[in-house]
Structure 1
């Protein structure tokens, strides 16, 4: 997650924070690690969350300082602010399948803010307006399964990474479909390459830099089943071995948001620091991050 502060006399500074796992499953306290200040901040919640936000809760990532969650007990989606402890109830999902991720187009208090959910195991994307007194999930882009989504605040466009190996662009104002670009390969988040019984994975992430309105496709090369010495280990199911994975490298392509074309970036990210994850990825100018220089 990231927060931003600005004044009329000082340039805009950005402080990305990492949310650490809670000490226990039932704990409502939050621990955040400030990358710029290199310290852990503990936030203790005196009051528990609302009843509809309690139970078997799955966290779907953080966007614009808000944590998106899904309650498996009552199929309730909601937003929570780990700093203030505030909770915002979103419409109950019509589909029993939990969403893969939820992102916000702006602050949830804004009247034109959209919450966008994407499903992985069932087709479709849906949107709602958290700032409206009455709102429902409105289906859109329901022809395909989606791995990741990103949003451009300047152009009000939604970018979708599909399981079929392409990136789509949608205009949310209409809404209407604008373009589709096939990727340079057909691997997706679940693909494996079994060469000589060695497992390679290639998860992909859409990364938006909102300062320059640039969109990137990041491909992570992962080796599965790695031992303590970093070498590949065969998985022995009968013994119940659960080996970790190892990231080997990253490949980055920039996507032209107007033309829908890809360009491979070689050797430089133009001073950007990219944060990638399964739920929400983003990029920040490294020079504007407190405690960091150009990367």
Structure 2
């Protein structure tokens, strides 16, 4: 049986992986797929792909594009979630900040440099016409638990993370959300190391076929909203709202989207150059 390691964030987007693993669908095809949770998000997964700790990752589009350009020997093999990610902009519940303008020039809590929370702070700054040199400051907090500690203790001032994942922390009075910032592109892609693509083309195709069969029908699974609410400790109405605005994909990201993403990252000085589509992607 072929052992394959895959990484992702422990969030509701990735429930289709859990369901297919629970049903033994990969084992039936002689693949021992092992899921690894990455609480540190995109930056942690980029490192794991580079170190060959994982073969595949379900990862933020902008983060993996940046890291491949920076030398990560991996490629995007498919879009996973087609719709944008809605990033909530959070402050401590008792903080004096009331609007996005209030946090201009303050310290953004980020999981690590090169992570989604880091890159989206730039997108938010650009959306609000801030000075990217002077109005952005960063405090590395590693993960969501670190953000709770950092904002509560006053070590950082605001934190950007997926809106629905952080909603329970808003509901219980830990955070206050002062705004939203959607990604200007599809949010999650599936990336694989070049070594895995080259040596295991059939296994890769099989894994994608299995997950795509589940995501294409995901919203029609009976009581899926209740399953998500229970598993991720979220309110049913929040899950229903999230399901209504989320679309999965079963195909490779298109060239125009990759170019648009890169142009945005280049304008923000996050990447040094525009890479060719073939450098960043592999069609299975």
- Structure exhibiting the larger radius of gyration computed from Cα positions: 1
Higher relative contact order (CA 8 A, sep 6+): 2
TM-score, normalisation: structure 2: 0.26
Larger strand proportion, structure 1 or 2? 1
Q: Larger % of helix: which?
A: 2
